[in-house]
């Protein structure tokens, strides 16, 4: 059974982006298989929109960093 109630965010940059838009994670943990940190957000339509926005601009941000 898949639990679609939560979004597990493994990107520190995405977490910061979401926080800048007013989203707050409900928990922070470590994946025991990969030893990576994750941030747990409650899923919502607004969160999905913000993640879509991130996916649109993240490559542009990386391109701008390479130009500096």
For the residues of 12-29, what is the DSSP string, one character each? HHHHHHHHHTT---SEEE
The total number of residues written for the chain in this structure? 68
Beta strand pairing call for 6-9 and 37-42 = antiparallel
pTM, full prediction: 0.81
Rounded (to 5) percent helix, strand, coil in the chain: 45, 20, 30
Domain residue limits, the chain:
6-67
Q: Residues 14-37: what's their mean pLDDT? A: 97
List pLDDT tens digits, range 35-62.
999 999 999 999 999 999 999 998 776 6
Q: CA 55, 26, 20: angle at the middle one, nearest 5?
A: 45
């Amino acid at each position: 059974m898949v639990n679609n109630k939560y979004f597990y965010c493994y990107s520190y940059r995405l977490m910061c982006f979401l926080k800048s838009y007013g989203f707050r994670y409900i928990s922070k943990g470590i994946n025991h298989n990969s030893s990576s940190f994750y941030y747990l957000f409650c899923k919502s339509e607004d969160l999905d929109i913000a993640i879509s926005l991130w996916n649109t601009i993240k490559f542009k941000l990386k391109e701008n960093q390479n130009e500096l």
